[in-house]
Amino acid sequence: MLDEIVAHAREDEPNECCGLIGGGNGHATSLHRARNEFASPLRYNVHPQDLLRITTEIESAGEELAGIYHSHTRSEAYPSQTDVNLAANWPDPLYLICSLADPADPVVRAFSIRGGSIDEVDLEIEGAR
């Protein structure tokens, strides 16, 4: 799934990519690419049509919206003030950020963003031990 996020980030360069992750109980079980409504290198918003379609898919599969991912093409994998503002409306999912700042070494990190405070969350890759 992380490989898929990195692949999506690379395909959408120079713009930021975004997508949704379904799951539950701390497990990610499905990945859904979405369009960046802004098609911008500096910011993202999950396209409203994709948001509706994908959240419906996730719920009908008995999953919850576990995460939202997007890419940073030039900056580190850490939430920007814009990201924190966006998360204020939606505090429950984890926020995954894929940085392509070093193209040879993409980085994906995950954060919980609630009430304006940012906490990094460790990702455990299942089946990779």
| Cβ(67)–Cβ(21) below 8 Å | yes
**Binding to Zn ion in span 41-60, by CB under 5 A:** none
Q: Does 29 bind Zn ion (CB under 5 A)?
A: no
Binders of Zn ion: how many residues, by CB under 5 A?
A: 2
Structure tokens at 83: 């990201």
Q: Does 112 bind Zn ion (CB under 5 A)?
A: no
Q: Does 83 bind Zn ion (CB under 5 A)?
A: yes
The Cα 110–Cα 46 span in angstroms is: 17
Structure tokens at 92: 């429950």
Nearer to Zn ion, 12 or 83 (CB): 83
Q: Does 12 bind Zn ion (CB under 5 A)?
A: no
Q: What is the DSSP string of 32-85?
A: EEE-BTT--SS---B-HHHHHHHHHHHHHTT-EEEEEEEEESSS-SS--HHHHH
Q: Least distance (Å) from Zn ion to the CB of residue 93?
A: 14
* Number of Cβ atoms within 10 Å of the Cβ of 123: 15
Q: Least distance (Å) from Zn ion to the CB of residue 76?
A: 10
Nearer to Zn ion, 7 or 41 (CB): 41
Nearer to Zn ion, 54 or 68 (CB): 68
Applying CB under 5 A, among 41, 80, 112, 118 the residue interacting with Zn ion is: 80
Which residues form the interface with Zn ion (CB under 5 A)?
80, 83
